[in-house]
Homo-oligomer: A and B are copies of this chain.
């Protein structure tokens, strides 16, 4: 273990990663660089500086990555209407590649030979961090303390902290949430505790970002979303940066009880796990993006995207954001978004996201053709006969040859 000289740690400032910092110093006898990022988790990141300094950390990186996170990760993913297993909006998955990238960039900048993180050996996050790190810096070493050490209970962890004068906020530790949580500008997640019984309903006081539908306002609220090339650039006519868009949609969605999700998902490491998620802004974005595509995207492009989406979602879930196949798929996805411009009007009401209108200067909706009224010859109904006849030809030949279709 003596060949590690310096390690960059993804450091939240909390108890677990503080213990890791100390454990790394002690176990590897190496220098530790901390990296703390604001990706919209809703907690101050600056306090991490003092905590790191108290442990003798010399190189401390604290960064606000919210704009980069939404612009380069969240928005590209939503261009594909990405959902994992029909339900999950990939809130945790999409934040990991950015952290992995910064970890190895900081390793390069500081001359570190390893990176470290606080993800356990059972979850997906270890995979996402490490695949990203290896893909970007193939020679990097990765230290995953949860797979190595024997501090695998709350008690041992606390004991280690106490023993090594780690500044634990005992008041906070005392009332620790029974859930394992993760948050960023896209979502907050809950696992563990009573959720480990998939028949047990989540408790109301678990949820943090949204009110319940029951507690949401009795008045619906309409919002207009403006799209340019598949991304939202304005809300109710007001231009916003990507992070501002998502923050505002989180506020609106949260207020109206939008975006709670309770699922059992299949982890890449092979087990099923129960997770609850709040994704208020993302839930609005998914519906609205489909709506703007519905009038601007060609049918076959849309179907092509739909056919690739499960694969694309799986790639992101499994940690392959930084991979040639994800990059190639992104080229296809982005190529379809050039004309995905226009406005979507959405109604928010007690948990519902209801699309009520969509319009675009790039619309492919042609009322003069689709109309039930006289179309003045825009469409010749007789064409349908030949269309059906030739599409039926192979079926008729098969039926005549005695094939049974029922």
Interface residues of chain A, those whose CB is within 8 Å of chain B, are: 81, 85-87, 101, 120-122, 126-127, 130-131, 134-139, 144, 146-147, 152-153, 180, 191-192, 196-202, 213-214, 218, 220, 260, 262-266, 269-274, 290-291, 294-295, 298-304, 306-307, 309-311, 314, 320, 322-325, 327-329, 331-336, 339, 345, 347, 349-352, 354-359, 362-367, 369-372, 374, 379-403, 405-406
Contacts and interface: CB of A to CB of B under 8 A. Distances in A.
B306 A122 contact: no
A324 B399 CA distance: 10
A218 B214 CA distance: 8
Contacts of A121: 379, 381-385
B356 A202 contact: yes
Contacts of A192: 371-372
12 contacts: A122-B370, A199-B358, A262-B355, A266-B394, A269-B387, A298-B323, A299-B394, A331-B335, A352-B352, A362-B401, A380-B386, A386-B389
Given A310-B306, A350-B213, A394 B147 contact: no
Contact of A352 (B213, B273, B397): B213
B388 A380 contact: no
Nearest to A301: B324
Nearest to A263: B294
Given A263-B294, A271-B379, A350-B213, A127 B384 contact: yes
A369 B335 contact: no
B130 A393 contact: no
A270 B138 contact: no
Nearest to A352: B351
A392 B134 contact: yes
A358 B264 contact: yes
Contact of A399 (B136, B295, B325, B382): B136
Candidate in A87, A131, A271, A323 with the most chain B CB atoms within 10 angstroms: A271
Nearest to A193: B372
A358 B269 CA distance: 22
Candidate in A131, A135, A274, A394 with the most chain B CB atoms within 10 angstroms: A394
A277 B293 CA distance: 19
Contacts of A356: 201-202, 262
A270 B328 contact: no
Candidate in A323, A331, A358, A372 with the most chain B CB atoms within 10 angstroms: A372
Contacts of A266: 299, 302-303, 394
Closest 9 CB pairs of A and B: A386-B386, A121-B381, A270-B393, A266-B299, A383-B386, A138-B396, A138-B399, A134-B392, A135-B395
A388 B294 contact: no
Candidate in A325, A372, A387 with the most chain B CB atoms within 10 angstroms: A387
